[in-house]
Structure 1
Amino acid sequence: MRKRTIFILIVFLLALAVGAINIIEPEYAYMPRKGQILNDARSNVGHGTSYDIWGVTVTPEDAAKLLQTEDGVEMLSPSNGAVEVDEDFVELGRDIFYKETFNNEIYLTDILGMLDGPITITNIAKGILELQGGHTDNLRVELAENVTIGGKNYAKGEKIDTGLDVPKGALSPLGMPISYQDGRLKAGVSCAACHATVDRDSGMIIEGAPNLNFNAGMMLALASNSAAYFTNTEIDAEKIKTFIEDHDRTVETTDGKREPLPDPEKLEEAVDEMLVQWPPGNFDSTVDLVNNPAQIPDSFTLGDHPYGWNGFAAIGPFKGLSSLNNNVHAQNSDLLAQADQSNELFDIDKEVYIGTILQNAANENYRYDPNSGMKPSEFLKMIDEEPDVPGVNEMVKPPTYPKISMFSPNGTVISSPGFHFGEQINAMSAYQNSLIPPKYEIDEATKAQGREVFHRAGCISCHAGPAYTNHRVIDNDVVKAQPSRAKAFEDADKLLEDSWIYSFDTPVPIPREAKAIRVPTEHVDDDQKKLTLAQDENGSGGYKVKGLIGLKWSPPYLHDGGVAVGPNEKTDLGIPGTLHKAVNPDPYNSLKALVDSKLRKKVVEANRKSKALQGANVEGIGHEHWVDQPNGFTKEEQDALIEFMLSLTSSEE
């Protein structure tokens, strides 16, 4: 196996070399065969041709009847917001899930410099070769140079935990397509990097399970231009001014004045210090200028709407799931897409914003020189493959741009040329809704007892229905979880517009006079919307009631992932006792900490002792619904409840 893997890798590298000579651009992305998947089955999504109309499913039987009438044909037309779902569409979603980067190689490699710092493609390949054809859920990579981050020194040759998953025989990490473009190796990120994982024991892939130890913060901090993610940390407009040292390094602002850019090294150092505070398995997906990463969610999505930690993805196809999928690539992997909103959201002029991100770009072709006499926006248009489209990812401007909407809270919609508008995010939604986690078997007596305790303890009051959620956002004054993330959307209200998009039969690039359609929002009541946007009376915002499908495969728990306990509940406490030591959280013990007041207290205490976790707003507090002896439940009842919750693997049960 080892010789075969080395041979294939050599062939791949030779292909890249040939590409350099013949201007061919080869690429490689790992795509598992069905026999490599641990999930037992798929749901019936895609079995027969159904339709999604703004989150309402039209069954194959009803669709067949409707298509016999003129009104029915019109109702099921993509020009009116209908999405046709069949087996091919689900498979398209799966292919996109594993392979599609939407061109984020440019931002992640050429601008951020993901492979230009101490982590190199050579050392990633070396780490894979050392597996000898085997698998890992945490690829350990040697550093190519000495580096100091967050006050800690890392030596050349030292291995770090990346949390990248490598399936058996794979030539690149799961969800990290490698390509050769513009004369250099580039790496992008697909959905699978965060929302699929390699089972540590069997080596099989669990589709939809979160990558619970993906060390995104560390990998970003090790990039050569991690300042490209400054909006996802605690670096606001006032703090940026403190990094200005050379007042002659200026740019012309949108109003014709001149403002200096921050010193790139000083800014880099400050951003790095905050990025390394993110615990493995967490990512800060909001540009709210607060360092508050959230746990990577699972993709067992059927019936778990609205989506997102605060329910922000509540409208559009598949009950808001397409909106969530859009946000991942239209914002999280290309911060240049926010340039036209930077003044309102960050109080930073557009030109200063672009210049700050590009002044230290890894690839000199993307590096902005303030002495060039050119505005940063003019430079960006010159280097951008699609200068009329925001950012460098493959996106389109919806009719509301540059305003944002409940469908697109980042302002843009991800769509690749050659597809129809929204086709890819809708296909991924159909695929995700088909995913069922692997079964967790318990005996019927334990299951019955656990279900009875679940009802008696009052869990059912919120975790009801097929997916064990009431689909509501709960005021954080009630939830009492770590408060910062609940307020992440409070500035979005400044730019919010009614939700208009293009019809789903519109080709990309968008032609002139393309048909615009309004996304229905009437089903979202005002109180829920206010909680999502932290515009409620107390300004506390809220958290969405999480569905309970697949808990076995998604520890640790709560939105910040702070409820973590390893195999030894006496020593493996909190993030410091688990993920900070490369120990995977144990689902049983972590769920016990969720419902056991004494164990939770120990977990929170362990988290609060970590300066890094305090800097990242990770505590593991809230959701104080105890099922333990002080509250009238026996140890046997608590055990049955936990086993019952771990057994919930299908919304069709």
Structure 2
Amino acid sequence: MVLVFVAFIVTLVAFVLAQVMRPSPSVQATSPLLAPAPRQILGSYDYFGQVLSPAAAADLVKSNGLNPNNPRSYDQVGAVKITQPLLDAGEKIFLNREIGDRFGLQRVLGFQLGIARILPEVGVAIAQQKGQPTSNLTIKLLRDLQLGSTVFPKGTPIRTGLDLAPKSFLPIGLKLPGDITCAICHVAVSPSGKQLKGVPNEDVAAQILVALSPNSAAGFARLNLNPLNPAFQGNGKTILDSQGQLVKLPDPQKFEQAFDDLLLAVPFGHFESSPDTINNTTQIPTVFTHGTAPYGWSGESAIGPFGGLSVLNNSVHSSEVNLLAAGQRSAETIGVDPEVYLGVVLQNAADRRLRIPDGVKPSEWLRKVAPDVNRAELQDQVALPGTGRYPRLQPSLLAFNGLGFSPPTRDRRDIARGKFFFANNAMSAWQDSLQPPANQSASNRDALGNGSVDRGAQVFQDANCASCHIPPFFTDKKIHPIAELGTNPARGESRLATNSILVAPQLYSFDTSVPVRGNAKVLDVPAPQKLFDDDRSLPRDLLPDGGYDTPSLLGLYVSAPYLHDGGVAVSKNALAVGNDGSFQVVDPKGLGLSGTLSQGIPADAANSLRALLDRQLRSSVIQTNQLNPALQVSNLDGTGHGFYVDGTAGFSQQQQQDLINFLLALDDNPAQF
């Protein structure tokens, strides 16, 4: 009898454990709009944005009179084979290779010196984490800190937005003694400590990290700051301009303070990179790039390998960060004499040996103190074919400063070394392999299970969202004029000044060793007819007044806030939302960037999407943004994209909620949880 009882208890316990440990049944939706997007195919080839099968690539090689059995033949025509070693190299470069030219960022701007100002505080904050992860490392100042005209007293807590992985001694994307990699902006840490590659670091304090530099104003062309404004006169140097005329430069301290004040107006998770003297701050994008060309918020990266993605990667490592090379065509693009440009950049250089004396022509002084240009501003840079000779290179659709990021082939110290353009192409291939992380939230599980996501898919169609955001990548791969979208025009106008001086886009073949020899093969890079009228002009829909490309909607739940400027931002606690989708604003202070990322507070994806879709709520968000002078200086307001799904458009609040749930479900496999 005892044995029977024991057997019964054992059986009962086993049954209970089986029920507890049994995997939850799969929750899924059925709409065809929720089918997973096609993924990158290993073994295929990229040919300037076209995906070719091995057979098609072989035919291309043969049509050029080359041997398809020789791997080098594919490099010679510009075809890049997608292999696992290429993806591995791209990931390593993206996550670990410092961006920018060391000469400009370190010896001129002084980024490492800036980071050193808070490095003790960062060390203390990391130690206090005791091996635990965080998505926003907060430091407490050990001494007073002045940035621009603002003094942060000792003891002030500062959100850095730096992400820390479990048991890590350095934030993601930060390298000692003070270099940064792409990961600082494009890898986020989940609450559990998982590194989410490709997810934007939505609260990184890029504005503070740059303002710490002693000569941050070397990047003055990225903001609307005129160096010859009489208000900045004082103790500046007197130099000779391109015409041999004497010009008094701005007082370096006044100019630095003014620039840093503008920087500090930029919200967390935003950046300024284009040297166009336009305040056109944008939020950090995702890098789930496969099938979503063109690239860049305004779609200016639209030709070349991987449909323009390699051009965008090249910009990150060259035209957007190379401070000195940006002065080559400054007269044509921003109305500043090139010698004046160089003088402003150099007179307060972090390395005092580079600082110009009175009475010199800055370009001549630069070559005197840094005679080897390939160890100075052209380190790891190659002048693209057809652009001319430095320092008078002309831009092309491949590089707005005429330069390609391509470290020397035999430099074994550099993980980005390889044949011409290898690093850019490797990073592109890896980025194209990324997928949005699965949305494992309870709200997504419930919305999939109760049919809300399926209903939202129908609303998506009924509201005509799919006319521009075409599944499965949820983009029409087009650029739309500003007049059509009604969004803030600042970023969309960024490259317009280069249009009249563009030259035909050319690259060296991908079997070319760096440094490049004089007999290297040159490839003419085609401009897609669907976007361009010719290859010496910006995309047709960027002209004449600018425009924006259609972003993919994949990964929306990890990429709040919304629109290029991130202006459609609402905090988690700002709204009270009912089960039927009805809502009311319960905390107006949480509306707009003023109540979110301007304070380092994350924007909530669901509430921000509601503001994107509901015109009344959007109006409140825009009004809040426009009342903030700092946001107005940065041209951040959340205007435009007036395609609403609300009562005025004939949709119920429940339908609006269903659409939001549909959009939040667009992850790596939207139909399943």
Q: SS of 2:196's equivalent?
A: strand
Does structure 2 retain, via aligned residues, the 8 Å contact 1:492–1:533? no
Which residue pairs with 2:258 in the alignment?
270
1:56 matched residue in structure 2:
50
Aligned to 2:612: 594
Are 1:359 and 2:354 an aligned pair? no
Shift of residue 320, structure 1, vs aligned partner: 0.7
1:399 matches 2:385: yes
Alignment RMSD, CA only?
2.7
Q: Deviations over 1:14-71 (max 9, x none)?
A: xxxxxxxxxxxxxxxxxxxxxxxxxxx9975363x22111111123465578889975
Deviations 1:148-187 (A, max 9, x none): 4454331134231221112112222211222xxxxxxx32
Given the alignment, which residue of 223, 231, 234 partners 2:213? Answer: 223
1:257-299 residue CA offsets vs partner (Å, 9 max, x unmatched): 3322221001101111111111111111211101121111110
| C-alpha contact (below 8 Å) 2:319/2:399 kept by paired residues | no
Match of 2:412 in 1: none
Q: Does the CA contact (< 8 Å) of 2:100 and 2:322 recur in 1?
A: no
Partner of 1:244: 233
Shift of 1:554: 0.5
Specify the code of the residue in structure 1 equivalent to 2:198.
G
Larger radius of gyration: 2
- Residue 491 of structure 2 is matched in structure 1 by 485
> Structure 2 regions of 5+ residues with no counterpart?
1-35, 388-392, 410-417, 576-584
The match for 2:274 is: 286
Query: Conserved in 1, the CA contact under 8 Å of 2:397 and 2:538?
Result: no
Q: 1:631: how far off? A: 2.0
Choose from 509, 518, 523 the match for 1:512.
518
Separation (CA, whole Å) in 2 of partners of 1:531 and 1:592? 34
Gaps of 5+ in 1: 1-40, 179-185
1:500 — aligned with what? 506
Distance 1:633 1:72, change over 3 A: farther
1:128 shift after superposition? 1.8
**Structure 1 residues 263 and 450: alpha-carbon distance in aligned structure 2, compared to 1, 3 A threshold:** same
1:620 has 2:615 as partner: no
SS in 2 for 1:83: strand
**Contact 1:330/1:393 (8 A) holds in 2:** no
Alignment of 1:35-46 (within 5 A): 44-45=39-40
Query: Using the alignment, how far apart are the partners of 1:648 and 1:624 within structure 2?
Result: 22
Counterpart AA for 2:401: N
Deviations 1:400-458 (A, max 9, x none): 33111111123211111122111001000000000001112542622221111000001
Displacement of 1:562 in angstroms is: 0.5
Q: Could you list the per-position Cα deviations for residues 216-254 of structure 1 after superposition, in whole angstroms to 9, with x for gaps in the alignment?
A: 122222321111111111113543x5423247x222333
2:187 aligned residue: 196
Structure 1 distance, partners of 2:650, 2:541, is 36
What is the distance in 2 between the residues matched to 1:534 and 1:57? Answer: 25
Q: The residue matched to 1:335 in structure 2 has which SS?
A: coil
Shift of 1:111: 2.2
The aligned counterpart of 1:435 is 434
CA–CA separation in structure 1 for the residues paired with 2:470 and 2:255: 47
Contact 2:227 2:344 in 1 (8 A): no
Distance 2:192 2:37 in 1: 20
Aligned equivalent of 1:554, options 547, 555, 559: 559
Look up the equivalent residue of 1:229 and give its one-letter code. G
> Is the CA contact (8 Å cut-off) linking 2:108 and 2:351 kept in structure 1?
yes
The 3-state SS of whatever aligns with 1:77 is: helix
Change (3 A) 1:493 1:147: same
Q: 1:356 to 1:500 in 2, by over 3 A?
A: same
**Structure 1 residue 308: deviation in Å?**
0.8
Is residue 136–residue 198 contact of structure 1 (8 Å, CA) maintained in 2?
yes
Residue 119 (structure 1) aligned to one of 117, 120, 124? 117
Partner of 2:357: 370
What residue number does 1:416 align with?
Answer: 407
Residue type of the alignment partner of 2:594: P
**Scaled by the length of structure 1, what TM-score is found?**
0.86
Take 2:99 and 2:597, find their aligned partners in 1: how far apart are those partners? 30
Distance 1:123 1:113, change over 3 A: farther
Q: For residue 408 of structure 1, what is the amino acid of its counterpart?
A: A
1:121 and 1:136 map into 2 onto residues whose CA distance is 17
Contact 1:549 1:651 in 2 (8 A): no
Give me the whole-angstrom Cα distance separating, in 2, the residues matched to 1:58 and 1:642.
Answer: 36
CA distance in structure 2 between the partners assigned to 1:226 and 1:488 by the alignment: 21
Q: CA deviation at 1:106?
A: 3.9
2:472 corresponds to which letter in structure 1? P
CA distance 1:574–1:535, change in 2 (3 Å): closer
**Aligned counterparts of 2:339 and 2:62: Cα–Cα separation in 1:** 55
Aligned identity (percent) is 35
Task: Indicate how the Cα distance of structure 1 residues 389 and 347 shifts in structure 2: closer, same or farther if over 3 A, else same.
Answer: farther
Aligned to 2:6: none
Amino acid at match of 2:562: Y
The one-letter code matched in structure 1 to 2:384 is P
Cα deviation, 1:485-538, whole Å, max 9, x if unaligned, reads: 1111111113211101211111111122222111101424447997758863xx
Cα separation, partners in 2 of 1:209 and 1:234, compared to 1, 3 Å: same
Deviations 1:74-115 (A, max 9, x none): 896211111122000001000001111256444333322234
